[in-house]
Structure 1
Amino acid sequence: MNSVTDLRLPLPADSLDTRPQPVSGRWAVMLRRWKTRRVLLTLDDAQLRDIGMTRLQARREGDKPFWRG
């Protein structure tokens, strides 16, 4: 028998929510690393002094890939 079956499943209305869901777990950690490292590269010298980092330390941390802790 070669036919396509028309299968209809009832879906609750809330299952159709297409809003982005918050990222959690390992992906959340990697996303946070990526964002904070990008920001770290934009800080000026006074801001880096405030957080106790040198320009070289900021560059080394900012250049790391997001998957590396």
Structure 2
Amino acid sequence: AKLLALQDKNRKVLCPRSLESFANWQKAQKLKARYQSKVSNQRRDYLHKLTTHLVKQYDVIVIEDLKTKNL
């Protein structure tokens, strides 16, 4: 769809097609966004569960900022 729209623009067609005129392209974009959102939510949920488990299991959690240059 993007290629066809660019070709129309480069050929200077009288009525160039825009991406809004491609219904299947729009459906695919919405479906892609839905899947990306789902994967993002799954990752966020996993990290939340993991950190909750770590906090409940251990008393003290220490994070150290090491510089690899000093190693």
Q: What TM-score, normalized by structure 1, do the two folds share?
A: 0.29
Q: What TM-score, normalized by structure 2, do the two folds share?
A: 0.28
User: Of Structure 1 and Structure 2, which has the larger fraction of its residues in helix?
Assistant: 2
